[in-house]
Amino acid sequence: MKTIDVQELAFFDTQDLAACQCVFDELLKEIGVAKDSEEAGRIAAIVIDLYQQGVRDRLHLKVMVENARGLFGRHHPMAAPPR
C-alpha cells in the first residue's frame, strides 16, 4: 500500500492547474476522447501524477502521458509513418 507523507505534499496553484489542463485538453483533442469518459479520467490522473513528480515541461509531460497510455505513435508529429 502506498502511503502519503503530508509534510511533503505540494499543493497546486492556479498556474500548476493551468499547465496540467492545457496538456490534458491537447491530448483529449488529439485522440478524440470525451472529457467525461473513463479514459479521460485515467489521462487526467497520469498528468497530475507526473506533474507532481516534477515533470513541468509541457511537451515532455504530454509525451510521457502518451507513452503511459499507449498513445505514442498514433498521433505524435514525430512518430514514424505506418508501414
User: pLDDT (tens digit, 9 = 90+) per residue, 23-68?
Assistant: 999 999 999 999 999 999 999 999 999 999 999 999 999 999 999 8
Give me the torsion for CA of 23, 25, 26, 32, rounded to 10°.
Answer: 140
Cell numbers 496538456 correspond to 23
pTM of the model: 0.72
| Residue 83: predicted pLDDT | 45
Q: Which of the two residues, 17 and 9, has the higher pLDDT score? A: 17
Confidence band of 70 (pLDDT split at 50, 70, 90): confident
Q: How far is CA 78 from CA 7, 71, 72, in A?
A: 40, 13, 9
| Residue 12: predicted pLDDT | 77
What secondary structure does DSSP assign to 1-58, as a single string?
A: -----GGG-----HHHHHHHHHHHHHHHHHHT--TTSHHHHHHHHHHHHHHHTT---H
